[in-house]
Chains A and B, each alone.
Chain A
Amino acid sequence: MIRAVLGALWSHWRHNRLQLFTLVAGLALATALWSGVQAINSEARSSYAAAARTLGEGQYDQILRADGRPIAVDTYVQLRRAGWKVSPVIDGRVDGIRVIGVEPLTAPRSLGGVELDAFQAVGDSPPIFGQKAALDALGRGGVVRPDLAPDAVVTDISVAADLLAQTDPSRLLVLPDQRADLPEIDSIDNGLTRRVAQSGSDLSRLTDSFHMNLTAFGFLAFAVGLFIVHGAIGLAFEQRRPMVRTLRALGVPLRHLIVLMAAELLLIAVAAGAVGVVLGYFIAASLLPDVAATLRGLYGADVGNSLNLSPVWWVSGMAVSMGGTMVAAAGALWQISRMPLMAAGRRALAVQGRVRRRIEAICALCLLSLAAGLGVWGQGLIAGFGLLAALLIGGALALPPMIDLATKVGQKSAGSALSEWFWADTRQQLPSLSLALMALLLAMAANVGVSTMVSSFRLTFQGFLDQRLAAEGYVYADTEEQAKALQPWLSSRTDAVLPIQKVDIAVRGLPTEVYGPIDHETYRSNWTFLTATPTVWDDLHGGGGVVINEQLSRRSGLALGDVVPVGGRDFVVVGIYGDYGNPIGQAMIDAGDFAVLFPEAVPLRFGIRVADSALPDIFADLQSEFGLPVANMVNQAGIKSFSMGVFDRTFVVTAALNILTLAVAGFAILMSLLTLAGLRVPQLAPVWALGMTRRTLGRLELGRAVLLAVLTALFAVPLGLALAWALLSVVNVEAFGWKLPMFLFPQDYLRLIAQAVIAAMIAAAWPAWKLQRTAPADLLKVFANER
């Protein structure tokens, strides 16, 4: 019997191949986008985890020099001889590969990545461990360990010292359980600081914003895809009601039927999921090099260029596909189970629509009010995300009632019978199209929101770069002696030399970079502050003032006029400036104060003010007289374009996902219209019989699609702007501590509306054309039973 039932169920798909294709394609696309994004994210995260594990970051406190230079071997020995249990690490790059040298005799036992007893020397020198690609790039033999961080090798400290030509350790790891009676670290060497272990590695914190971006998009794409699936399943189940009634009348138990229908759907889900997962792999593989390059450029994070996907990823992709299908089908299956044995074939779409619309309208109202409430009173990142979700879902649910309202108004104000019929027909189609339109709304709103955010960011970033990179050129010295020799030489050749010196300390317990700029016109005329005293620069350079960045101000609650200790002396906050993208705090004090508090810091970097035309000569002379390599001299235009390039590349991935999501939404519309086309014949037949040509009917279809797209777009733009506001002012602030000003770009929105209209027109073209080509015989058949 089961085989007979399955045959009956399957025959539906055989006769409605388009529906099957819609179902499979929608599910595959949704799964592809979701799993593609997950693959990229998990690849990146496993790289960070490998890096953190390899370096013990986040597990152990570290001892570093405040000025970032390596710690002398003698200092390490002094610490050990004072009783400190510390272990040295030499860390550097050669040929683009990060070389990490550990000392197995003193290293903490769980310094993972490589077991310490594997360091025993084989042959002449201890082995080097790394992924195969890294060992090959280094050109030395070694032991392949695929689970180490990409582009990194781990080895004994003696080998690393040799490879990097650096004998002084970069940092010291502090083992847990130190004795209580030990002398303070800075009494042994006062240039040292102790950095507390951070749970969660530095890298994963820094790159969180990027991955959050990706995940949100993946989720959105999946949701849109699920809309398609839901629509297709709903329609299929609608159409199979008579068959279900027949089967039950023939004696098939309801439970069998439900189970078989669910099994059939699962089978389709598995097939579609498999296709989707494979597609997702290709999407991820094609996006990954860009992502890796972006992450390296922005954060210095090493992410492998190739995907190493664990079986878990494949399984989870399939699971997501099956889960999504079940969620989408749950409603339809439940309806079938509740259907009386001899139910009528089809309920009027209009009746169904009215009840649903009311429920949708109420839900939408609730969600939008929730969103408003969260926007005003919400605190914290969870509230921020809640706001986004409530906005999106509420907006989506509010769309059908809004369009219904608009069409009702259009109907009331209709002049001729034709136009009245047009509006009525539109209203009547709305329930079937509403899912596709909601998908379109979400895609467009996301587009508007994200593009507003990105463009605002870009504009602000450009202004920010202009402000920060005010000098025409930048010169970097390699050693202190070179720096000391460079400075007078540069002063004689340029209008001004701006030394850039910084130390990393903690201010109010937060990791902070402290800079000590000299007093110069460059700063006075280029810097903009979020808030500042009227005489901020004079206060800074003469009055013991400090200016801090927005992050530091927000995180430590410092405002103008507050007193804050920096490096042991008290300063007064006289200005707060924006510092986009910086995850830690920043502060600036006068160069004189800086020299007194941090005498060991010698500036190695200089900004030079000089006419642009003089730069090439100066650079050439620097090369010939000081032997400065070309990489140590940069002109401002070069840095700016590099920075903007990195910035743009970050959002290339976003742009790609944007387009994909829009395409999915367009596909949803196409599928809905195509599926509806078959059902529409009885409704169009009377109009045709009254004399309207099929060509006019086709054009009206097209017009309807454009109308609906425009209405959706009109609703999408404000929703998208609300989304952008939520992202910039709530989510970004909670997550990263800085707020971006929102700029509006009306041209972008008009362009988006045009794109949506074109997408709708393309989607509607084929159904309209099919309609135009409907054989009159089919239209006549509708009336066959009229007698």
Chain B
Amino acid sequence: MNVRALIVVLLLLPAAALAQGFAGLGQTADGFATPAPDPRFDFPRDSGPHTDFRIEWWYVTANLSSADGRDFGVQWTLFRNALAPTETTGWDSPQVWLGHFGLTTPDAHYSAETYARGGIGQAGVIADPFQAWIDDWSFVQTADGFRLSATTQAAGYDLALRPFGPLVFHGDAGYSVKSADGQASYYYSQPYLEVSGTLTLADEVVEVTGNAWLDREWSSQPLSADQAGWDWFSLSFASGDKLMAFQLRSKDGAAYTSATWIGAGGVTTAYPDGAVLLEPLQSAKVADRQIPVEWRVRLPDRGVDVVVKALNPNAWMDLSVPYWEGPIGLTGTHSGNGYLEMTGY
């Protein structure tokens, strides 16, 4: 059976299977809450799950390097999908958890996924003290930060993350609009994470250090029905500033962009549609598709004009809903590193 169909089907109602956007995220939200402007966040409560919303994730990406100068990228994601806006204990819980694992080296890319049902403790998130887990993949709060670990047959990682800056809220104080029709989500990040730990690869254990970025987002219909996918960039410049930019591509070729400039001390500036310019430069054939693996990112307002290049063009997440995610390097007006995610190709 095709588990790909499962996740799609889990998110879809049988009738309106056609114009639902990427991975069904464009489906209408019956019975679920929808984000409203002017959100009030309350921590640590909001680091936990919001079961009245349909979709939510805890998304960590990290750029790492070893002592001998090799670069690596790591991804740890926990998705929560709800079939109903409640949570129960027991087998009939409507929450479905999905974990994604990614590890990229210059020559190889490892990806894995696992599913779990809510309500029995196999997967879940607790806000305080913070723990997120699915099977033996975990992201838990420790004395001076977090511990992020996941293992698969082919590879694994065990990393310590230490926050050294404040949380950052995208869009309008955390209310991030995704299309001209007004679909939105609540979206904040913790981009200031210092990382040290080990990667376990086929024939070696590598000590690494670097920086990580946590994305937190929840909503009930983040895409409009005609949006086919998105390209998302997180860039950490050597100067200490950061830039988050995404564009949502419509089926008819139009795009809706949004960006957040994160300056010193975590001060954010939100940029509306059209401010940031994302231009694919070069494509590569990955998994029988043409995927742009080199981009030009320009934010004229901040004088940013960089060429973004994938560390490993073959960073294809070959999972039930496939997409491309991998570490990138920057050249141009700024140097630094970051992560790139491209869906809907």
Contact = CB atoms under 8 A, between A and B. Distances in A.
Interface stretch (B114-122, B185-193, B228-236, B247-255): B114-122
Contacts, number: 69
B14 A122 contact: yes
B136 interface: yes
A689 B104 CA distance: 110
Interface residues of A, number: 32
A179 interface: yes
A81 interface: yes
Contacts of A76: 120, 122
B239 interface: no
Interface stretch (B2-10, B55-63, B168-176, B295-303): B2-10
Contact of B1 (A83, A109, A158, A181): A109
B83 interface: yes
B151 A83 contact: yes
Contact of A82 (B3, B116, B136, B153): B136
A157 B122 CA distance: 15
B115 A117 contact: no
Interface stretch (A98-106, A235-243, A451-459): A98-106
A632 interface: no
Residue among B83, B91, B151, B153 with max Cβ neighbours from chain A (10 Å): B91
Contact of A116 (B6, B120, B121, B133): B6
Given A73-B120, A104-B6, A167 B90 contact: yes
Interface in A161-197: 161-162, 167, 177, 179-181
A117 B9 contact: yes
Nearest to B133: A81
Interface in A291-320: none
Contacts of B115: 105-106
A120 B5 CA distance: 10
A43 B96 CA distance: 40
Contacts of A125: 92
A74 interface: yes
Contacts of A161: 90-92
Interface in B2-53: 2-3, 5-6, 9-10, 14
B135 interface: yes
B255 to A, nearest CB: 32
A74 B121 CA distance: 8
B92 A106 contact: no
B1 A117 contact: yes
A80 interface: yes
A77 interface: yes
Contact of B120 (A77, A110, A122): A77
Given A104-B6, A105-B115, A77 B122 contact: yes
Contacts of B133: 81
Contact of B136 (A81, A103, A121): A81
Interface in B104-137: 115-117, 120-122, 133, 135-136
B92 A158 contact: yes
Contact of A157 (B91, B135, B136, B153): B91
Residue among B96, B115, B117 with max Cβ neighbours from chain A (10 Å): B117
Given A81-B133, A179-B153, A117 B5 contact: yes
A158 B90 CA distance: 8
Nearest to B2: A117
A80 B120 CA distance: 11
B117 A77 contact: no
A117 B96 CA distance: 14
B108 to A, nearest CB: 18
Nearest to A169: B91
A766 B177 CA distance: 100
A495 interface: no
Contact of A177 (B3, B10, B116, B153): B153
B24 to A, nearest CB: 12
A279 to B, nearest CB: 42
Contacts of B122: 76-77, 80-81
Residue among A82, A110, A120 with max Cβ neighbours from chain B (10 Å): A120
Contact of A162 (B3, B83, B92): B92
A177 B154 CA distance: 12
Interface in A395-435: none
A115 interface: yes
Nearest to A105: B115
Interface string A526-551: 00000000000000000000000000
Nearest to B5: A117
A109 B90 contact: no
A179 B1 contact: no
Interface in A52-101: 73-74, 76-77, 80-83, 101
A105 B14 contact: no
B302 to A, nearest CB: 44
B136 A106 contact: no
B121 A77 contact: yes
A116 B116 contact: no
Contacts of B153: 177, 179-180
B143 to A, nearest CB: 22
Interface in A328-378: none
B135 A116 contact: no
A729 B2 CA distance: 52
Contacts of B90: 158, 161, 167
Contacts of B120: 73, 76-77
Contact of A120 (B2, B9, B136, B151): B9
Contacts of A180: 153
Residue among B117, B122, B133 with max Cβ neighbours from chain A (10 Å): B122
Given A77-B122, A106-B115, A179-B151, A121 B83 contact: yes
Contacts of A120: 6, 9-10, 14
Contacts of B121: 73-74, 77
Interface in A114-142: 115-117, 120-122, 125
A115 B1 contact: yes
A180 B153 CA distance: 8
B117 A103 contact: yes
Nearest to B154: A179
A156 B10 CA distance: 14
A143 to B, nearest CB: 13
Contacts of B3: 109, 116-117
A179 B136 CA distance: 12
Residue among A110, A122, A158 with max Cβ neighbours from chain B (10 Å): A158
Given A80-B136, A120-B10, A180-B153, 5 more contacts: A73-B121, A105-B6, A105-B96, A109-B1, A161-B92
11 contacts: A73-B120, A81-B135, A81-B136, A109-B1, A116-B3, A116-B6, A120-B14, A156-B91, A157-B91, A158-B91, A179-B152
Interface of A: 73-74, 76-77, 80-83, 101, 103-106, 109-110, 115-117, 120-122, 125, 156-158, 161-162, 167, 177, 179-181
Give the top 4 A-B pairs by smallest Cβ distance, nearest first. A158-B91, A158-B92, A105-B115, A83-B136
